[in-house]
Structure 1
Amino acid sequence: MTDTIRTPPVASTTPPVTSRRPRTWRALTPWLFLLIPLTLLVVFTYAPIINMVAYSFTDWDGVSPELHYTGTGNYTELFTRPELFEVFFVSGYYLAASAVQIVVALYFATILSFDVRFRNFFKGLLFFPYLINGVAIGFVFLYFFQDGGTLDSVLALFGHHSDHAWLGDPVSANLSLAGVSVWRYTGLTFVLFLGAIQSIPGELYEAAELDGASRWQQFRHIIAPGIKPVLTLAVILSISGSLSAFDIPYIMTGGATGTETFVIQTVKLAFQFNKTGLASAAAVVLLLIILAVTWLQRRLVPDDRVDLV
């Protein structure tokens, strides 16, 4: 009886055959999830923008199927007719109001980020106006500023009897509308600042207090650098919002008494005067202005995040 010698199995040098199907599905899975959002984005955002740019070079009235190419005639008319260019001066009131809005929101966000009594109540009080529908706000303040309305009644309680029409002349009307805008959107900016301030580690405040830093020094050296990206975002949103103000001035004045904004003018050109080509050119100009302001803001104020570690 002989012993058999068993040799160990030789490992195969050929790589195992793997199916390419799992790899293919793994690569396609993210695109399948993005298919519907990208389709909606293209259909409802980029395609209308392309159509708007194309219509801006025509004289289409928005009704007839025929349209004629006019070149840059709509853009030339937009910048040469004084009544069309004056809406940019109205936006100056809202730009000033946006600056006030940012300062007020930053002040309250800084105060309420510390341990203050009833701070949750004040947070809700500041954010509540942003939750109200713009149409409702327009009607409320329309009665607030009318002759003999709420504002005149409150002033009469303090012995000041005014017969001034708050929405009757361009200066007071635009100041009133800008004040309503500040009241409505301060809460949103306040929440942005408050979230950014609360994301700063508390150890920095404790170390600053141990070093004897005052509240102003904490704001200057800790809060301000820490919320710089959010501050940049708030400035961009405020500028774009001031250029595209629509619902409140449209409801309260309809663009009368020198309160017509850029968007109100565009809507009237398209649907009241049937100049869809000219309105498309105005919309393209507004889009380019917002993009230019955003790019300039990003260049002047780079996103230098502070290393908080």
Structure 2
Amino acid sequence: MTDTTPKAPERAPVEPPPTAPLPAPAPRAARVWRGLTPWLFLLVPLAFLITFTYAPIVNMLAYSFTDWDGLSPELHYTGIGNYTELFTRPDLFEVFWVSGYYLAASVVQIGVALYFATILSFDVRFRNLFKGVLFFPYLINGVAIGFVFLYFFQDGGTLDSVLALFGVHSDHAWLGTPVSANVSLAGVSVWRYTGLNFVLFLGAIQSIPGELYEAAELDGANRLQQFRHIIAPGIRPVLSLSVILSVSGSLSVFEIPYIMTGGATGTETFVIQTVKLAFQFNKTGLASAAAVVLLLIILLVTWIQRRLVPDDKVDLV
């Protein structure tokens, strides 16, 4: 029998698509220039950073081992003599007690900033106006703030006039005693730096996904519960940063007390004392050693804070 089954037509072999030719490698000069381009943009900032930050630090460290008076072209190596004098004179470290006022003020400052950042992160009338009012003091120069509040706290000044409107007549000299002067200066620092912490907290709160708030509201959570379970864990890294900045700032306060009191009436801070050692008593070597010690103290405090409160990543979802 013959096979009458129709045969399938034979298909033509499929040719692979032509491959695109590989691009020719860039010339060596072009590759070198491409690698150098980012560094050319960084050249000027790095030059400024080295010139005005790292070079002075190296010079300060070198001067701390000499008896240089800041004027004479001659200086003599004294080894660790300046550091020995620092740690054998308790009066040079007693000024750190003044930093306690600013440390307490930083607690108030962080609390106030966190409160307003939480309130203004929700839909509140005129919240943009309140944001500007809170952040505005941080934009003012510290010297100008010092002069403004110098007249604010003087006898018969603005504060006394405002208190007189409410029937409070006081002959108290706000900058006349160590306690009242330090409390007043610490209050000025709260007024100035609350805006910085407020902006940091507000940005961190607004970066939290809005779906979490909606889910919390559906579950019946009030504002306090939302703060406890959503906002507080979500801003923990920023809160840790604010604490570090506040503590280091409390140890290195300078502008406000120097302008308003010059360190008088028990308001002298460690930085003011260091400046006086260098420019009033011409002990630049000893002042450089004091600056190095302050830098090491701040680094140590920062390291301890990071160890006690590690910056763990928080996953709220």
TM-score, normalised to structure 2's length? 0.89
2:118 is the alignment partner of 1:110: yes
Q: Distance in 2 between matches of 1:178 and 1:85?
A: 19
Q: CA deviation at 1:83?
A: 2.6
AA of the residue aligned to 1:253: T
Confirm or deny: 8 A CA contact 1:90 1:261 kept in the other structure: yes
Matched, 1:286 2:307: no
Q: Deviations over 1:37-89 (max 9, x none)?
A: 22221121111101101101111000111111112221222222233111111
Q: Classify the secondary structure of the residue corresponding to 1:154.
A: helix
Partner of 1:101: 109
- Whether the 8 Å CA contact 2:68–2:285 is kept in 1: the answer is yes
C-alpha distance after superposition, 1:234-253 (max 9, x if no partner): 11111121112111111110
SS of the counterpart of 1:200?
Answer: coil
Report the AA paired with residue 269 of structure 1: L
User: Residue 232 of structure 2 aligns with which residue?
Assistant: 224
Q: Which amino acid aligns with 2:165?
A: L
Alpha carbons of structure 1 residues 137 and 18: separation in structure 2 relative to 1, 3 Å:
closer
CA change 1:17–1:190 in 2 (3 A) is closer
Which secondary structure does the structure 2 equivalent of 1:148 belong to?
coil
2:156 counterpart (148, 156, 160): 148
Instruction: Please report how far the alpha carbon of residue 18 of structure 1 lies from its aligned counterpart in structure 2 after TM superposition.
Output: 5.5
Tell me if the contact between 2:152 and 2:158 (Cα under 8 Å) persists in the aligned partners: yes
The percentage of aligned residue pairs carrying the same residue is: 87
CA distance in 2 between counterparts of 1:58 and 1:306 reads 49
Q: Please name the residue that 1:304 is paired with.
A: 312
* Paired position in structure 2 for 1:138: 146
Range 288-297 or range 226-235, more displaced: 288-297
2:261 pairs with 1:273: no
CA distance in 2, matches of 1:129, 1:227: 23
**In 1: Cα distance, 2:34 partner to 2:303 partner:** 37
2:90 aligned to 73, 77, 82, which one? 82
What SS does the aligned partner of 2:79 have? coil
2:243 is matched with 235
Larger Rg: 2
Distance 1:124 1:134 in 2: 18
Corresponding pairs, count: 296
How far the C-alpha of 1:156 sits from its partner, in A, is 2.0
From 45, 53, 61, give the equivalent of 2:61.
53
Q: Is 1:189 equivalent to 2:189 in the alignment?
A: no
User: Counterpart in 1 of 2:268?
Assistant: 260
Which one of the candidate residues 62, 75, 78 is aligned to 1:67? 75
Q: Which residue of 2 aligns with 1:40?
A: 48
Kept in 2: contact 1:74–1:278 (CA 8 A): yes
Letter in 1 for 2:160: D
- Cα distance in 2 for residues equivalent to 1:149 and 1:125: 23
Match of 2:186 among 158, 171, 178: 178
- Partner-residue secondary structure (3-state), 1:260: coil
Question: 1 CA distance for matches of 2:90 and 2:296?
Answer: 20
Distance 1:56 1:38 in 2: 26
> Does structure 1 retain, via aligned residues, the 8 Å contact 2:230–2:316?
no
What is the deviation of 1:26? 2.2
Counterpart residue number, 1:11: none
> How far off is 1:99 after superposition?
1.0
- Secondary structure of 1:176's aligned partner: helix
For the 8 Å contact 1:249–1:259, the answer to whether it is kept is yes
Shift of 1:181: 0.4
Give the structure 2 partner of residue 10 of structure 1.
none
CA distance in 2, matches of 1:215, 1:18: 60
* Ranges of 4+ aligned residues in structure 1 off by more than 6 Å: none
**Partner deviation per Cα, 1:102-153 (whole Å, 9 max, x = no partner):** 0110011001111111111111111111122212211111111111112122
Moved more, 17-26 or 45-54: 17-26
Aligned equivalents of 1:17, 1:42: Cα separation in 2? 37
Deviations along 1:288-307, whole A, 9 cap, x unmatched? 11211222222222222222
> What CA distance in whole angstroms lies between the structure 2 residues aligned with 1:220 and 1:57?
51
Deviates more, 1:105-114 or 1:155-164: 155-164
Which residue, 225, 229, 251 being the options, matches 2:259?
251
C-alpha contact 1:226 1:305 (8 A) present in aligned 2: no
Q: Does the C-alpha gap of structure 1 residues 152 and 28 become closer, same or farther in structure 2, counting only changes over 3 Å? A: same
Contact 1:201–1:308 (CA under 8 A) maintained in structure 2:
no
- Does the CA-based 8 Å contact 1:130-1:187 persist in structure 2? yes
- Distance in 2 separating the partners of 1:18 and 1:180: 61
